[in-house]
Structure 1
Amino acid sequence: MTTVFTDPDRYTDMTGWHREVAELRTQAPIHRVTADGFDPFWAVLAHDAVMEIERQPDLFRNAPLPWVMSRADIHAAVEAGPAPRTLIHMDGEDHANYRRFGHDWFRPAALARLQTRLNTLAGDALSTLEGLDGRCDFAADVARPYPLKVILELMGLPEEEYPQVIALTQDFFARDGDAQVMQNLFGYMYALTMARRAEPTGDLASAVSNGRIDGELIPEVEATSYHMMVAASGYESTAKALTGGMHALIAHPEQLARLRQNPDLIDSAVDEMIRFSSPVRHMMRTASADTEVAGARIRAGDWVLLSYPAANHDPKKFPDPDSFDVARPNAAGHLAFGFGPHHCLGAALARMEMRTLFRRLLPRLESVDHDGDAALTDTTFIGGFKSLPTRYRLS
């Protein structure tokens, strides 16, 4: 029995986590996991095996539970009332219909129009660093505010409400499966849904709140859940990737120097940062029929955990996977955004945000180092560095 996938504390030591998972992967690409308080599930650790499952969305379904939860947390969620139902809870035509409400906002043409705003926000982040006299918590001072402003502007939320949204989403990701925390975030987003239905304002939240399928307005629960997914996942995973990227550059000064000398490597470097940090720790699937994956016989109804950090550190896909290489030729082959119909809706935006910030920051960054101990979140779902004390000098 291993707790490496179910104990949030295990994700606060990713070096030890990867060491144990690498040993498991040498034994088999997929393992049956039994852990106290959890229903048994399969953990998929190899890149090829994760891809095989992602390519079969009809056989491996998101519903009913898209992330791992203990029996106690599942029971508490049921007792708390109707559960949020986001895109990651949906399958098939249902998923496709709801995905299209946000699709236009993340098309290349829409993102191209957003570039000017990203440049401004990246400049604001640099101004923040200029005002902090060479010492900051990169996670709190830069990596969280920058993508949050992007997402909440898309949703049309006023800046004075940003601190409240930060607090709600931080609680949501920091306390896995906590029913009350989920209800708090749901309550805020429900109010947003009803406000946009009463008075649409031409933003993403209005488009979703007033979305229709076959001429019928979508249920309030689904619209509210959509807002939860966009606001929480849409910035939290990017913030964790940004912080993980900065941590990797500090830990590998030769790679930072290489990147500064050759800015054309920014695109591959950003994908390497995402691969290396893999903020989305897993997604769950439920088998709809008996099948076989990587030699494992999976039965209908079996729960399957897709471990993205494990897949993104698979040596068969990424040679010397635990090294950080800003010029890694296949870095974009990572699975941090998933694959297939459930590929992250905001993947292109996340890459744009990271490339824009590092293109502005790196030419000014004369030196950078740790300024104390960094800390990782104790969560099994979306995680990474919650603090990164940093000492730096800008030109």
Structure 2
Amino acid sequence: MDLISQTVVDGKAGPGAGTTYPTLPDVDLADIFRFTKGQPFADYARLRAEAPVMWHAEPYGGPGFWAVTRHEDVMSVNGDPTTYSSQRGGILMSMGPPEKRHALLFRASMDTMINLDAPHHLQLRREHMPYFTPSYLRGITEAVKGEVTRLLDAMEPLLADGQTIDMVEHFSSVLPLFTLCEILGVPPEDRPRFLKWMHYLERAQDLAVQQAAAPITPTLELMQFVMDFNNNVEEMFDYGRMMLLKRREDPKNDLMSAIARAQVDGALLADEYLDGSWLLIVFAGNDTTRNTLSGAMKLLTEFPDQKQLLIDNPGLMGGAVDEFIRMVSPVIYMRRTATADVELNGQMIREGEKVIMYYGAANRDPEVFPEPDQLDVRRPNAGKHIAFGYGPHTCIGKRVAQIQLEEAYRQILARFPDLVATGEMEIAPNNFVHAISKLMVKRG
């Protein structure tokens, strides 16, 4: 089975119809370096108000896309996979011409479950489901509790006497990795390698932009980064292939075995598609929770009254987690491709054109969430956020993310109620995920 052959990677150049809404010239959602200051929430607000379905050009010869920012419209696109296909164009905006893409990483990113439509998407999703059921996750919850305690024990002496530490390094990057490896069944001795691979995966978009922006000065630093990047990507896929093929021969009660032995149309997945499944689970199972863990600490520092509410009323934590996820919105966008001419909020979209849904914009739509830029741990409808998507492509691991966030902040606020972010923070250049690479914290 060669699923990538069914995919038209880049959409049709457009717009093919007249534009209903203006193009806001100073709003650039394709510039990944603008996202190093965080998501452009002010731009999102302007788009929702002035151009909720706006035509947006792409750099490096990309065909352009429709930027969709209102909650109702994002729900409409997400909930109609027949009209708005994941498979036809993939979920990412284009990043340069084919000859400058990283061949292995690009191919694997296309050969994933989230880049498929029915029936293949549903067949693969069904194979994963036993490892995300409440009964299975009860055991994972206990493991997460123990790991949170272990990590906080290790942090305690480092936070003595007003010292500052990087929460990403000591906590946010470690907990999701532990949880992912528990579900996958990765041997403990192999787990540290995942941290290194994640570092390079988050910089993949940055590298793609640098390579697409010819001519570029080949500095020693850049050449070393490219070499390290390529070596780590190869190592990650080599490890994944080795472990998945091993599970085919000797299956265990873990998600890795389920991926290895998954079938579509009665046949085991081709080796190339194993690469895609491996990339998806490593990236999606780790990155988004990590960034929400860090983002929540930043929010609680910015809104100390809400933090005090949680300290005084730990029972509010379940709803607060949804509010953290709503405000952070760790996945910035998802792309679809129109399979037919369709009208969205008064804008005609032609067959073959790309549509990109901005989750961070939808999750701060004041029509759904009053005072959307305010953290409110008692917000009654926080669960209406769509940070995990909506419809048949809703993130299969959303409950795993909620479990980790809930347990992490129950223990953090109980043990370190005075822990705050110092304001020193770094965000990787990435407009697909909100990638917090550094967040310094201290007590008191």
TM-score normalised by L of structure 1: 0.93
Partners of 1:274 and 1:162 in 2: CA distance: 26
Whether the 8 Å CA contact 2:292–2:330 is kept in 1: the answer is yes
Partners of 2:81 and 2:341 in 1: CA distance: 14
Partners of 2:388 and 2:407 in 1: CA distance: 19
Partners of 1:174 and 1:252 in 2: CA distance: 30
Q: Size of the alignment, in residue pairs?
A: 391
1:151 maps to which residue?
A: 180
Give the 3 Å change call, closer, same or farther, for CA 226–177 of structure 1 in structure 2: farther
Give the 3 Å change call, closer, same or farther, for CA 80–373 of structure 1 in structure 2: same
Mapping for residues 313-392 of structure 1, pairs under 5 Å: 313-371=364-422, 373-392=424-443
Matched residue SS, 2:107? coil
2:100 maps to which residue?
A: 76
Q: Tell me which amino acid in the other structure corresponds to 1:149.
A: F
Give the 3 Å change call, closer, same or farther, for CA 131–283 of structure 1 in structure 2: same
Q: Please tell me whether residue 172 in structure 1 is matched to residue 195 in structure 2.
A: no
Percentage of matched positions with identical amino acids: 29
- Offset of residue 131 of structure 1: 3.2
Q: Which of 201, 204, 215 is matched with 2:252 structurally?
A: 201
Whether the 8 Å CA contact 2:332–2:360 is kept in 1: the answer is yes
TM superposition outliers: structure 1 runs of 4+ over 6 Å:
none
Give the 3 Å change call, closer, same or farther, for CA 213–157 of structure 1 in structure 2: same
Whether the 8 Å CA contact 1:2–1:33 is kept in 2: the answer is no
Q: Tell me which amino acid in the other structure corresponds to 1:155.
A: L
* Uncovered stretches (5+) of structure 1, i.e. residues with no partner: none
Q: Tell me which amino acid in the other structure corresponds to 2:140.
A: L
2:218 maps to which residue?
A: none
Q: Tell me which amino acid in the other structure corresponds to 1:226.
A: S
Matched residue SS, 1:391? strand
Q: Which of 4, 7, 10 is matched with 2:34 structurally?
A: 10
1:65 maps to which residue?
A: 90
Whether the 8 Å CA contact 2:144–2:407 is kept in 1: the answer is yes
Q: Tell me which amino acid in the other structure corresponds to 1:357.
A: A
Give the 3 Å change call, closer, same or farther, for CA 337–82 of structure 1 in structure 2: closer
RMSD (CA atoms): 2.0
Whether the 8 Å CA contact 1:39–1:70 is kept in 2: the answer is no
Whether the 8 Å CA contact 2:27–2:43 is kept in 1: the answer is no
- Offset of residue 366 of structure 1: 3.3
1:51 maps to which residue?
A: 75
Partners of 1:154 and 1:79 in 2: CA distance: 29
Q: Which deviates further from its counterpart, 122-131 or 313-322?
A: 122-131
2:112 maps to which residue?
A: 86
Q: Please tell me whether residue 33 in structure 1 is matched to residue 59 in structure 2.
A: no
Give the 3 Å change call, closer, same or farther, for CA 81–138 of structure 1 in structure 2: closer
Q: Which deviates further from its counterpart, 368-377 or 34-43?
A: 368-377
Q: Which deviates further from its counterpart, 253-262 or 176-185?
A: 176-185
Matched residue SS, 1:389? strand
Whether the 8 Å CA contact 1:372–1:389 is kept in 2: the answer is yes
Whether the 8 Å CA contact 1:193–1:224 is kept in 2: the answer is no
- Offset of residue 151 of structure 1: 0.5
Give the 3 Å change call, closer, same or farther, for CA 100–182 of structure 1 in structure 2: farther
Matched residue SS, 1:170? helix
2:212 maps to which residue?
A: none
Matched residue SS, 1:112? helix
Partners of 1:386 and 1:70 in 2: CA distance: 22
Q: Please tell me whether residue 233 in structure 1 is matched to residue 284 in structure 2.
A: yes
* Uncovered stretches (5+) of structure 2, i.e. residues with no partner: 1-24, 209-229
